[in-house]
């Protein structure tokens, strides 16, 4: 399988070299690596250019204008900038963060899984962060969800879901849509990826309300949205976050914000979510 990687990057001078070196040291090399520099103010672009000069599979693409950094929309916009540069021969499209260190066998395992399972649409490992000298599983992780930092899509699956939604919640919408269209989404706990900067470390407070609006835009409905808000707040050990998420949902509903899914997709998603909840509670 030919793997094409797109890495959105903004001011990643401290980490981008580690990420690229870990990709270049793979036992099964990726076919193409595109780094999209989102008008960085540090020397991210220079570092990438120097590494690319010695490694033809790496390509630097530069954006000249940068908007406000909000979760979701900006990173997808930057990722989309790299899409036209992917070669036709690419079989699997990867969206990776610029602050990751991959185990040497990451693509070897991915190649095996994608090759042996034709219905596998999305696949990836788990992110670990450094805490008190140890690498521990990032607390936003669960076995049913492939983190936005390490997304990969079989090209046919990526095309079936219509690409990535340019909004916060894109990394949930993609998985739901993949399953809706009959593709498998699989995570692999044996693939441990070091995440050098915890997810959301640079987000502004308004992101809490945006997260609540995501539940609305995914057509969860009131009860499912409040359950999702409670689950996420519990993981982050914050009662305040629960109320922030709920406020964000209610605000989005009042404003009748645009949905990320069609009515048919939303109906399927609600059934899928309730089915999983009932299955877990019956154990």
Q: Report pLDDT for 147.
A: 92
Are residue 211 and residue 191 in the same domain, yes or no? no
**Which DSSP string corresponds to 183-222?**
-EEEEEEEEEEEESS-TTTT--THHHHHHHHHHHHTT--H
Label residue 66 by pLDDT band (50, 70, 90). Answer: low
End position of a domain, from candidates 131, 160, 195: 195
Are residue 213 and residue 161 in the same domain, yes or no? no
Burial class of residue 201 in the structure, from the number of CB atoms within 10 Å of its CB (0-12 exposed, 13-18 middle, 19+ buried): exposed
Task: Render pLDDT for 153-210 as a digit per residue (tens, 0 to 9).
Answer: 999 999 999 999 998 899 999 999 999 999 999 999 999 999 998 665 545 556 778 8
What tokens appear for 258 in the block? 């645009």
Are residue 180 and residue 47 in the same domain, yes or no? yes
The Cα 38–Cα 238 span in angstroms is 32
Q: Report pLDDT for 29.
A: 98
Q: Is the pLDDT of residue 113 over 70?
A: yes
End position of a domain, from candidates 153, 172, 195: 195
Are residue 31 and residue 134 in the same domain, yes or no? yes
Closest residue by Cα to residue 56 from 92, 17, 29: 29
Task: Render pLDDT for 15-29 as a digit per residue (tens, 0 to 9).
Answer: 999 999 999 999 999
- Give the long-range contacts of residues 45-52, CB within 8 A, separation 24 or more: 47/13, 47/16, 47/17, 48/9, 48/16, 48/20, 51/17, 51/20, 51/21
End position of a domain, from candidates 195, 216, 246: 195
In a domain, 16, yes or no: yes
Across all residues in the chain, what is the average pLDDT?
A: 92
Residue numbers of the domain that contains 262: 206-281
Are residue 191 and residue 60 in the same domain, yes or no? yes
Label residue 229 by pLDDT band (50, 70, 90). Answer: very high
Q: Report pLDDT for 283.
A: 60
Report the pLDDT averaged over residues 62-73.
71
Task: Render pLDDT for 69-99 as a digit per residue (tens, 0 to 9).
Answer: 666 788 999 999 999 999 999 999 999 999 9
User: Which of the pair, 123 or 69, is modelled with greater confidence?
Assistant: 123
Are residue 30 and residue 117 in the same domain, yes or no? yes
Q: Report pLDDT for 199.
A: 61
- Give the long-range contacts of residues 262-266, CB within 8 A, separation 24 or more: 263/219, 265/176, 265/177, 265/180, 265/219, 266/218, 266/219
**CATH number reported for the structural domain that contains residue 97 in this entry:** 3.90.550.10
3-state secondary structure of 240: helix
Label residue 115 by pLDDT band (50, 70, 90). Answer: very high
Are residue 156 and residue 230 in the same domain, yes or no? no
Label residue 112 by pLDDT band (50, 70, 90). Answer: very high
* pTM for the full predicted model: 0.92
In a domain, 201, yes or no: no
């Amino acid at each position: 399988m030919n793997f094409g990687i797109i890495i959105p990057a903004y001011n990643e001078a401290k980490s981008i070299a580690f990420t690229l070196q870990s990709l270049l040291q793979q036992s099964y090399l990726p076919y193409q690596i595109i780094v999209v520099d989102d008008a960085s103010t540090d020397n991210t672009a220079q570092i990438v250019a120097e590494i690319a000069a010695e490694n033809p599979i790496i390509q630097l693409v530069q954006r000249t204008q940068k908007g406000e950094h909000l979760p979701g929309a900006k990173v997808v916009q930057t990722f989309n900038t790299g899409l036209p540069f992917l070669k036709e021969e690419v079989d699997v499209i990867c969206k990776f963060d610029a602050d990751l260190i991959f185990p040497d066998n990451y693509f070897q395992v991915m190649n095996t899984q994608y090759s042996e399972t034709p219905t596998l649409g999305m696949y990836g490992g788990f992110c670990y962060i450094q805490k008190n000298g140890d690498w521990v599983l990032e607390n936003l992780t669960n076995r049913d969800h492939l983190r936005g930092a390490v997304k990969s899509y079989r090209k046919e699956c990526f095309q079936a879901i219509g690409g990535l939604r340019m909004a916060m919640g894109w990394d949930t919408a993609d998985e739901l849509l993949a399953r809706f269209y009959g593709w498998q989404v699989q995570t692999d706990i044996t693939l441990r990826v070091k995440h050098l900067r915890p997810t959301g470390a640079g987000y502004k407070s308004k992101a809490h309300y945006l997260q609540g609006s995501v539940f609305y835009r995914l057509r969860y409905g009131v009860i499912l949205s409040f359950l999702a808000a409670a689950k996420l707040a519990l993981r982050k050990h914050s009662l305040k976050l629960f109320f922030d998420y709920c406020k964000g949902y209610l605000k989005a509903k009042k404003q009748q914000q645009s949905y990320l899914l069609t009515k048919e997709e939303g109906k399927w998603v609600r059934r899928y979510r309730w089915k999983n909840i009932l299955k877990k509670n019956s154990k």
